Chain A
């Protein structure tokens, strides 16, 4: 029998410490929707999503009610659109956005291209359309994979993405460049990621699958408050225990959703995903460990411990673990990170170092609107190189806020939050980016 103390602990985690299931994401294969006529393809896409996902939101809401835990987002990820678009991809984009609205999901991911080694004509068409598509759709998310450990970095794609990010910001300047918040540039993109904006349903995935992302930075922080001043062994153990509990609930929700929808369970993503709400911050876990502010010396080590302990605790709690799995450090979506950036303890360079030891990358960072396309490409290249060499997923989601300079605030609203614009290194890398071509894949032996 469960003891009263255990019941109260669970209720406290949900009611006081912002423990929630961050997302149930339904992955849907769209390869069978491909057609030479863009409009027919778009219609097939719309029809299939509306058929497969028709009970997604309702099922999520039922589980919320029965289990008494918030399931914050119900989302959909689809096959990268560049793989199904034989012609103009824009009608498909509009169909996806309509389907997302019809199904009541707040984001749909998969307006994507995988071009780690090179671009197909379809990839090029999709890339060209991204700024317009993100400015004219509401819920559609886009991602582009520009490198991998096996293939190296496609520097032509890196160069192009710098331009596209700038163009997307310009086209959505009335909303501080909001379009860029829906656009991720990956190295080593994963096929079963349930988190936006980078979710897509990879070609190795089944027809459809339920992937669940858990959350609970507030729960971890509160647990660490009980072990103040204790050595790191205790800190790691405490995080592991907490992550285990969180993930078990994620596994329960994933299993139930899978059964009710008649859709196979894919993975649980062992994540710590913050929101801008107070008490839901990854940065505050770091400060709880003894740092004055996120970004202070020791931050990378603290994050490395946190990330590893979350995985160790979570892995035993779930049948299948996947996605991005790790602590997220999106700046505008984490009140502790926002404050740290505001008080100058968090620089772009420190954030880059932090991404070496956690999931996923330079995320939701507002940079000055006058940053050049080449500089953005340089930032992408650096981050992708970290992923390539360290055999991990890295990503860049920066927002060059039009008309804004370092220190100004930008506001994206809702879960996307707000953030001060961060200073970018003023020295140029234009000639470096202009080279194009490919950076060869790294050696996998002689690893020192």
Chain B
């Protein structure tokens, strides 16, 4: 399983989770975990997803997320979970 973290930050507005989740669903990317909070009016969400269902290159998936980025005017980063596992788990 290729797990990735998608972080979404920016000004809070209606339908952020729905928009991101819909895009992931369209790409056949399964969401494994979500945490979300509002800090000083800033929406902060982290999703752990499984990229394997998409059968696409990492960079292609990232490009797909670009459209959501533009539409919502949010900062959306995707990076493989391996970097967090490496750093925080022995």
Give residues in A with beta carbon < 8 Å to B: 1-2, 4, 6-7, 9-11, 62, 65-69, 245, 248-249, 251-252, 256
Contact = CB atoms under 8 A, between A and B. Distances in A.
B12 interface: no
A249 B86 contact: yes
B90 to A, nearest CB: 9
Interface stretch (B22-30, B64-72, B75-83): B75-83
Contacts of A256: 82
Nearest to B9: A11
B84 A252 contact: no
Interface residues of B, number: 22
A69 B81 contact: no
A10 B84 contact: yes
Contacts of B35: 4
A252 B80 CA distance: 11
Contacts of A9: 88
17 contacts: A1-B33, A2-B81, A2-B88, A2-B89, A6-B87, A7-B5, A7-B7, A11-B77, A62-B59, A66-B79, A67-B80, A67-B82, A68-B79, A69-B79, A245-B87, A248-B86, A251-B86
Nearest to B89: A2
Contacts of A10: 83-84, 87-88
Given A4-B46, A7-B5, A62-B59, A248 B87 contact: yes
B18 to A, nearest CB: 21
A65 B59 contact: yes
A256 B2 CA distance: 14
A1 B59 CA distance: 25
Most chain A CB within a 10 A radius of its CB, from B33, B48, B84: B84
A252 B82 CA distance: 8
Contacts of A65: 58-59, 62
Interface of B: 5, 7, 33, 35, 46, 48, 58-59, 62, 77-89
Contacts of B78: 68
Contact of B86 (A1, A4, A68, A252): A252
A4 B88 CA distance: 11
Contacts of B80: 66-68
B79 A67 contact: yes
Contacts of B5: 7
Nearest to B4: A66
A2 B85 contact: yes
Contacts of B81: 2
Given A6-B87, A67-B80, 15 more contacts: A2-B81, A2-B84, A2-B89, A6-B88, A9-B88, A10-B83, A10-B84, A10-B87, A11-B77, A67-B82, A68-B83, A69-B83, A248-B86, A249-B87, A256-B82
A75 to B, nearest CB: 22
A256 B84 CA distance: 15
A248 B84 CA distance: 10
B85 to A, nearest CB: 7
Contacts of A249: 83, 86-87
Contacts of B62: 65
A7 B84 contact: yes
B32 to A, nearest CB: 9
B88 A62 contact: no
